[in-house]
Amino acid sequence: MTNLMTVLRNLIFYSVILFVAIQVLARFFDFASKKLIKVGGGKKKLLIAGVGVFALVLPLLLAGEPYILRTSVMVLLYIVLALSLNIVLGQAGQLSLGHSAFYALGAYTMAILTVSFGVNFWIALVAGGVVAGIFGFVLGIPTLRLKGDYLAIVTVGFGEILRLILINWGTFTRGPAGIPGIPSPSFFGMAVKGNTGYYYIILVMVIVTIIISKRLEDSRLGRGLAAVKDDEIAAESMGVNPANMKILAFVLGAVIAGFAGGFFASFVHYVNPDNFTYMESVTILTMVVLGGLGSIPGVIVGAVILAILPEALRDISTYRYAIYGILLAMMMIIRPQGMISLDSLKRRSAADENPRSIWNFKSFRRSNGR
């Protein structure tokens, strides 16, 4: 009985901390995004350069801290995964719960090609992207007829089927035992050893993914995606072909996730089906939603927070999953639009030019979570 009381007391304690943390973070991000919108060209470049330099020298700063460097690599990996899902979910509006399947395809392609066939890392990495992309195309086809919940079910099914194949097709995937001994890549004859090399590879992947997402957002194609997400019939009457748009989003998201999977396989030198469960898809989905659906900075923030959180909670490991759950529930109640939402960014910039708009006031209240 006293034990139960302790647990309850602790949970309440953690809940209060989380509540305060969400409020503080929400205010911080609101404030920061408001400031950043106003920052003009030159300063913006300086800021990006600053972040870039920090990312570049981070491994040097962490020379004596392999654990933190390894965690940083995983954080960057999740940024790539979350951004790839964001193309499907945030930019095209298609609810996919099977994203870890593409991740798995990339990882297993890497594992099988390098271990069983001795293929070079870089070729296997591209092959992983291609294989995932092909399956993205196949999974994209049902999205033409299905929406929302129904599509979600199909994607869950796809993810589970793939995982079951990985477990049961023993001759090819070595079943539940997984594939060990995936080699490290070499770069112009130099073997990439240790975490630092991997860090720079994934950093490049993060940068490329951000550029792709950003270009997509600003392009005509991105506008087409946004239109399909908003109102399919209206988009069609503007001459957008919704079918092409949705399939494109699925393929693009899948290819990027496939690359991430290939990297992951090589990074941990071992894959097994347990790495790619439904929970993995949910984790990636949560990052996107928590950060802010459709907003690139938001998704990055979401990935960083949720990739670090399990590590930060190791000391109170008994409560880890409880805290994770409470965080998600609270987030959805207090701040459903995510930390940095696309909507609020847009609305706020519009509001600055139109200070008397009523909507302004509403958005102000909503972003404060009341």
DSSP 274-318: GGG-HHHHHHHHHHHHHH-TT-HHHHHHHHHHHHHHHHHTGGGGG
Of 363, 332, 365, whose CA–CA distance to 346 is shortest?
Answer: 363
The residue from 90, 98, 106, 224 that contacts another protein (CB under 8 A) is 224
Q: What is residue 126's DSSP assignment?
A: H
| CB closer to another protein out of 227 and 282 | 227
Characterize 83-111 residue by residue with b for buried, 16 or more Cβ atoms within 10 angstroms of its Cβ, and e for exposed.
Answer: bbbbbbbbbbbbbbbbbbbbbbbbbbbbb
DSSP state string for 324-348: HHHHHHHHHHH-TT-SS-HHHHHHH
**Judged by CB under 8 A, which of 52, 67, 350, 361 binds another protein?**
350
- 3-state class of 357 per DSSP? coil
- 292 lies in the site for another protein, by CB under 8 A: no
**Is residue 230 a contact residue for another protein (CB under 8 A)?**
yes
Region from 5-13, 53-61, 189-197, 228-236 binding another protein, contact rule CB under 8 A: 228-236
For residue 41, the 8-state DSSP code is H
- Phi, psi for 193 (deg, rounded to 5): -110, 140
Q: Could you tell me which residues come within 8 angstroms of residue 131 by beta carbon, excluding any fewer than 6 positions away?
A: 105, 106, 109, 258
Q: How far is the CB of 341 from another protein (least distance, A)?
A: 11
Using CA atoms, how far apart are residues 28 and 32, in angstroms rounded to an integer? 6
How far apart CA 214 and CA 211 sit, in angstroms, is 5
User: Would you count residue 90 as binding another protein (CB under 8 A)?
Assistant: no
| Interaction between residue 238 and another protein (CB under 8 A) | yes
Q: CB of 369: closest distance to another protein in angstroms? A: 20
Closest CB to another protein among 230 and 274? 230
Closest CB to another protein among residues 79, 345: 345
In 3D, which of 224, 196, 241 has the Cα closest to residue 73? 196
| Binder among 229, 257, 297, 300 for another protein (CB under 8 A) | 229
219 interacts with another protein by CB under 8 A: no
Indicate whether 361 belongs to the interface with another protein (CB under 8 A).
no
CB of 148 to another protein, least distance (A): 16
Nearer to another protein (CB atom), residue 136 or residue 224? 224
Per-residue CA distances from 154 to 108, 110, 254, 271 (Å)? 22, 26, 16, 25
Positions 316 through 345 that interact with another protein (CB under 8 A): 343
Q: Please identify, among the stretches 155-163, 176-184, 193-201, 230-238, the one whose residues bind another protein according to the rule CB under 8 A.
A: 230-238
Q: Are 304 and 75 spatial neighbours (Cβ–Cβ below 8 Å)?
A: yes
Stretch that binds another protein, among 15-23, 59-67, 117-125, 229-237 (CB under 8 A): 229-237
- Number of residues engaging another protein in binding (CB under 8 A): 26
Rounded-to-integer distance, Cα 185 and Cα 370, Å: 51
Q: Is 349 in the site for another protein (CB under 8 A)?
A: yes
Q: Is 92 in the site for another protein (CB under 8 A)?
A: no
Task: Report the residue number, 174 or 229, with the smaller CB distance to another protein.
Answer: 229
Please report whether residue 346 would count as binding another protein according to CB under 8 A: yes
Q: How far is the CB of 90 from another protein (least distance, A)?
A: 11
Indicate whether 315 belongs to the interface with another protein (CB under 8 A).
Answer: no
What is the residue-wise DSSP string for 23-34? HHHHHHHHHHHH
Is 110 one of the binding residues for another protein (CB under 8 A)?
A: no
Name the residues that contact another protein, by CB under 8 A. Answer: 220, 223-224, 226-227, 229-231, 233-241, 343, 346-347, 349-350, 353-354, 357, 359
